[in-house]
Amino acid sequence: MKNKSLISINDYTPEELLKIIDIAGEFEKNPVQDILRGKVIATLFFEPSTRTRLSFESAVNRLGGRIIGFTDASSSSVKKGESLKDTIRTVSNYSDLIVMRHPLDGSARYASEVATVPVVNAGDGANQHPTQCLLDLFSIKKTQGTLENLNIFLVGDLKYGRTVHSLLMAMSNFNPTFNFISPEELRIPNEYKLFLDKKGIKYYEHLDFSDIISKADIVYMTRIQRERFSDPMEYEKVKNSYVLHNYMLKDTKDNLKILHPLPRVNEISEDVDENEKAYYFTQALNGVFTRQAIISSILGLK
């Protein structure tokens, strides 16, 4: 993986995914190391994403690296009309690796073509967010002991949620069963169902999940946004069907864990937070170890 940009989760083979997860496990045991001393990591956030940026910066800081960059496009020369290419070329001169968040789909792939240093995609529009996917995989492996043969429930906005799509693609390497739970308007797109059919992976679609949750190993919750609905009445009708409450976890499996990419609004009721099956805050912490693993593998240090 040395010098290889990470743009899309599909860029990594299943073996490479597992390798990153293993290295993330090492960082979890020993998160403070001086291996990035003398390295400069650029974090270019053309749109704000506080959580992702802080996670990357925490990862680099704990490894002794230094950070340069900007936190939104208004404080960079993009405002003066500089092209993405010129920004990336310039910053390549100043850094050993570029972490980039950008509102345009495909911007990260393009940046990796013009950069002279590796690029890590921290979200390109509605397209990909591979480091989120890797931290999800790490969280699943850590809590379940394996990635193989799991029953995974994906809940909420399955149409637009890019984390859901990436997770689906990545987990498809490990013989899962998927249960898709969403309102009619936000069902999983056909192209993903065709992909699963082709791979021979079992999946089921539901409008409600309260009576089937007892089968789940992982419940991956996502936020349903009002603006995704063409009819606001439809949103009002369905919004409460996709909220997880503590009482719903009563008869669930012991190994069940609840994941959420955060930020949460109301789709997980706060009474779930104290349940030991709630995992979303630890999941966010795992993001730091995963990003340490990604950066240090790409720089050839692990």
Residues labelled as active-site residues: 51-52, 80, 101, 129
Residue 8 or residue 55: which is nearer to another protein going by CB? 8
Nearest to 138 by CA among 165, 167, 95: 167
Interaction pattern, residues 170-209, with another protein; x per rule: CB under 8 A: ---------------------x------------------
Instruction: With contacts defined by CB under 8 A, name the span among 12-20, 126-134, 197-205, 270-278 that binds another protein.
Output: 126-134
Establish if 228 lies at the interface with another protein (CB under 8 A). no
Q: Cα–Cα distance between 273 and 261 in angstroms, integer? A: 14
Evaluate whether 141 touches 171 at the Cβ level (below 8 Å). no
Establish if 110 lies at the interface with another protein (CB under 8 A). yes
Residue 70 or residue 110: which is nearer to another protein going by CB? 110
Establish if 109 lies at the interface with another protein (CB under 8 A). yes
Tokens of 132: 């989120």
Q: Could you tell me whether strands 177-181 and 202-206 are parallel, antiparallel, or unpaired per DSSP bridges? A: parallel
Establish if 128 lies at the interface with another protein (CB under 8 A). yes
Backbone Cα Rg of the chain: 19
**Distance in Å, CB of 239 to another protein, minimum:** 26
Q: Cα–Cα distance between 65 and 32 in angstroms, integer? A: 11
Establish if 121 lies at the interface with another protein (CB under 8 A). no
DSSP conformational letter for 127: T
Burial of 118 (0-12, 13-18, 19+ CB in 10 A): buried
Establish if 73 lies at the interface with another protein (CB under 8 A). no
Largest interatomic CA distance in the chain = 58
Residues near another protein (CB under 8 A) are 8, 83-85, 103-107, 109-110, 124-128, 191
